[in-house]
Amino acid sequence: MCIGKSHTPESASKLAAKIAVVYAKPATTHCCVCSTEVGAADVVWRKDGFDIVRCAGCGLVFRSDLPDDSEIAQIYGGEYFTRDEQDSSGQGYLDYVADAENHRLNARRRLAALRAAPDGAELLDVGAAAGFFVEQAVAAGWKARGVDVSDEMAAYGRDELSVDVTTGLFQKLEVDSQVDAVTMWDYIEHSHDPVGDIERAFAVLKPGGLLAISTGDIDSLVGRLSGRRWHLLTPRHHNFFFSRNTLPEALRRAGFEVVELRHRAYWFSVGYLAHKTRTMLTRSRVLDRFVASIVDSRAGGLSVPVNLFDVMTVIARKPLSAGAAA
């Protein structure tokens, strides 16, 4: 009871509603990889208002309170792909479409990690964004299509690149026949059900088909040294933080054979790299002005290869013994 302050019926009801909201939220959750119960004792960081937990069973790191389907459209609206001038957080992309040539260059390097496309081979790109990878896959001989939750990006792919990119969730996408390859480039960390997505990939792949995933490696040297300031630890948009141990484990549990795990270099603009440094350094007006000066400079448009060995590419195969239908 609060002395000196009485509660009217209206204020009491508001207080009760607030208490109900707090206690309606479950105190524990379960790891999607190994099903270990994860609770308050497993919180390793709190960042941007979100609790980040580490599973004691398998080591998977993830956001404890995951977004639901209704939040996805808002989270990945236009501001995620094009930075608002007033936003100096370093979240999202500086200007995704303006960086098209780097996306195409990285797409060609990623395609090289897959086998050459057999005649009529089909590829599904999950988290396709504006469709630059789909575009390059088609140019390399694949019958490729993509899916992305961002209607704006998917529409860009259809209208500007003339590629097949569907707006929606992978797990709800209609797939008429099994495909030869599924790719998830910089996608699985955004998913609110990554194991479900891996299992769905297994189902839509032909026996012998390949699943390619790129995502951060939180147990890399850079990840461990950076801690909560790791540039990929951005829980507003990233929900799961896999490692070289937890991602292969999730793949094997879904029935895949892990073929390759490598930390590859990718190309980025200098301006984008400057933009992302904000996630790793203490925020200040001096830093904001410095980053802005680089972004707006001629040097900001230059492209450079970067490999901090904290982003892994994993290639997995659906066994031939899995049969023609999953």
* Predicted pLDDT at 293: 73
The 10s digit of each residue's pLDDT in 93-130 is 778 898 999 999 999 999 999 988 888 899 999 999 99
**Residue numbers of the domain that contains 83:** 69-322
CA angle 297, 293, 308 (to 5 degrees): 85
Residue 37: inside a domain: no
Token reading at 53: 């937990």
> How many domains does one find in the chain?
1
> If we measure between CA atoms, which residue out of 69, 251, 29 comes closest to residue 149?
69
**CATH of residue 166:** 3.40.50.150
Asked whether residue 51 is assigned to any structural domain, the reply reads no
Phi, psi of 83 (to 5 degrees): -65, 130
Asked, for residue 46, whether it belongs to a domain, the answer is: no
Q: CB neighbours of 12 closer than 8 A, spacing ≥ 6?
A: none
Residues of the chain where predicted confidence (pLDDT) is lower than 50: 1-26, 325-326
Query: Do 41 and 29 touch, CB atoms closer than 8 A?
Result: no
Instruction: Evaluate whether residue 188 is within a structural domain.
Output: yes
Structure tokens at 23: 């206690």
The distance of Cα 180 from the centroid of its chain, to the nearest Å, equals 22
Residues 6+ apart with CB under 8 A from 184: 125, 126, 127, 197, 201, 211, 212, 213, 214, 215
Q: Is residue 179 part of a domain?
A: yes
The answer to whether residue 224 sits within a structural domain is yes
Residue 43 domain flag: no
Contact 204, 124 (CB under 8 A): yes
